[in-house]
Structure 1
Amino acid sequence: MDLNTITDVVRRPPDRPGAAWREGDAWLAGGTWLFSEQQPDLRRLVDLTTLAWDTLVPSDAGLEIGATCTIRELYALAPPDDWRAASLFGTSCEAFLASFKVWNSATVGGNICMSLPAGPMITLAVALEATYTLWSTDGSERAVAAADFVTGNRENVLTPGEILRRIDIPVRALRKRHTHRRFTLTRLGRSTVFMIGTQAPGGDDLLLTITAGTTRPIRLAFDAVPDADSLRQSIDAIPDDVWFDDPNGTPDHRRHLTKHFAEEIRTEFTAGDRQ
């Protein structure tokens, strides 16, 4: 879609582009959402892709993902053999309601910052205990846990002009065992519920991440795999207003699916049937 209110496009912003932020600006990376509908309040686009941030940087500490890394680049990553949970990269990329053309331009950071309940990069980052580095307009930066970043449907902790610079996933999370469940109304549809369970190698813990069915990510942590009643009670404790309501599912439907899939995940870890 043409954005007929835009009067300027900054093709080569400074290395810390937030210093020149002004009202009516928008960060431009993949632009898959930005150009999908009218943006009447915008006057200027600031192109982040020309900054040439590193896309994927594996190290002994884990994986650093530049915010402008495309979905295609993440999907193509060949991880070290001991990163058992790295198969969730492909699983999460395939959870996009998008064509290969969108994969080539949509970015990891863009999906996170849109903060939609069904954003699969949000699911991935929260489940793998990622930390986000945010750049402020005054030149400072702060770190925010992925689990705390999204606060509601299309709502997050970003302040005006603040930018998501990178996503850091710790190696301990990448080495975890894992399983997941995802439900859609159609085979290639938007997620109604997307859940990931992880467990430390040789451990008995359970970290259960619930997304798509809730307006913000919910993470339930257990020192040991709980029994069925305890797990169900933990899900029942999620506030009613957190369950998402849209044409893909009512809150009651999503709560029911979450309980059903959570029990399947619990049973897998109890039985030792996990990756």
Structure 2
Amino acid sequence: MDLHTVTEVVSPARAGQWRPGDAWLAGGTALFGEPRPGVVRLLDLAAAGWPPITVRDDGLEIAATCTVAELSRFGGAQRFTAFHGLTTGCCQAFLASFKIWNVATVGGNLCAALPAGPMIALTAALDGQCLLLGPDGERRVPVTAFVTGDGRTVLRDGELLRSVTLPAGSLTGPTAYRQGSLFTHGRSAALLAGRRTPAGGFVLTVTAATVRPYQLRFPAMPSEQDLVDGIGDLIPDDAWTDDVHGLPAWRRHLTVRFAREIRAELAA
């Protein structure tokens, strides 16, 4: 969709250049997906040249401008088995053409904050920390707190998402993943990721079925009943997504079913 109100593009852009009427541009698949009559200037982040993925001693840093294709192709740091175990499934949850894979970015998917955003599921499941840059400096926010609702984040005026850091302690161990939708190639109605921690704990992340990511953490493998009770205690009734892609009651049913399957798989 043309953004006919835009009169200027700043490229490359950097933190501190934002002013009212600006929009940060990375891949643009969300930005150009609907009318934006209030946008008059685009700040091009893709031209900043940030390395897509940086392997560090303490984990992985994924630039906000890293595309889905770059993330999917990344074969380094094989010791981070949990990362590689979940990345393939989450990338495939886009159910999009290669054109979208080569343009859509990790940061754009997080900032769009759609319940079905698979990059939200991936980075939340691996305890990702968002690095935000803005007029008042930088701050770090967990992915689970970055997305606050359907289309809502904690971003303030002028802030941008620079990267997501995944700590090494969350990148190893067995994982399991479940995704369900109304149709074979439909938008995710429930997207769950589970993993065992190095200390024997169990972490379950619920997305798509809920308007924001929810995470359950147990010091050891929980019983099936404790897991189901935990879902009921953690996720309020008004947090289940309600749209044309699935009713809340059905999404909750899928979530409980998938949680049981993930628990059984990782307990085996």
C-alpha distance in 2 between matches for 1:19 and 1:127: 31
Partner of 2:104: 106
Partner of 1:261: 258
C-alpha distance in 2 between matches for 1:234 and 1:204: 18
Q: Which amino acid aligns with 2:181?
A: T
Partner of 2:7: 7
Runs of at least 5 residues in structure 2 that lack an aligned partner in the other structure:
none
Secondary structure at the aligned position of 1:45 is classed as strand
Secondary structure at the aligned position of 1:182 is classed as strand
C-alpha distance in 1 between matches for 2:92 and 2:267: 27
Q: Deviations over 1:90-130 (max 9, x none)?
A: 21111103210011111110001111100000000000011
Deviation, 1:265, is: 1.3
- Could you tell which deviates more after superposition, 46-55 or 80-89? 80-89
Deviation, 1:50, is: 1.3
Number of aligned residue pairs = 266
TM-score (norm 2): 0.96
Q: Deviations over 1:237-261 (max 9, x none)?
A: 2200111001111110011111111
Deviation, 1:84, is: 1.1
Residue 215 (structure 1) aligned with residue 207 (structure 2) = no
Partner of 2:201: 205
Partner of 2:122: 124
- Could you tell which deviates more after superposition, 212-221 or 61-70? 61-70
Deviation, 1:7, is: 1.2
Deviation, 1:230, is: 1.3
C-alpha distance in 2 between matches for 1:137 and 1:154: 22
C-alpha distance in 1 between matches for 2:253 and 2:122: 22
Runs of at least 5 residues in structure 1 that lack an aligned partner in the other structure:
none
Tell whether the 8 Å contact from 2:174 to 2:266 is kept in structure 1 after alignment: no
Structure 2 counterparts to residues 83-232 of structure 1, below 5 A: 83-85=80-82, 86-138=84-136, 140-201=137-198, 203-232=199-228
User: For the aligned residues, what is the CA RMSD?
Assistant: 1.2
Deviation, 1:158, is: 0.4
Residue 39 (structure 1) aligned with residue 41 (structure 2) = no
Deviation, 1:188, is: 2.0
C-alpha distance in 2 between matches for 1:73 and 1:229: 39
Structure 2 counterparts to residues 14-93 of structure 1, below 5 A: 17-85=14-82, 86-93=84-91
C-alpha distance in 2 between matches for 1:264 and 1:248: 22
C-alpha distance in 2 between matches for 1:260 and 1:20: 47
Cα distance change of structure 1 residues 80 and 11 upon mapping to structure 2, 3 Å threshold: closer
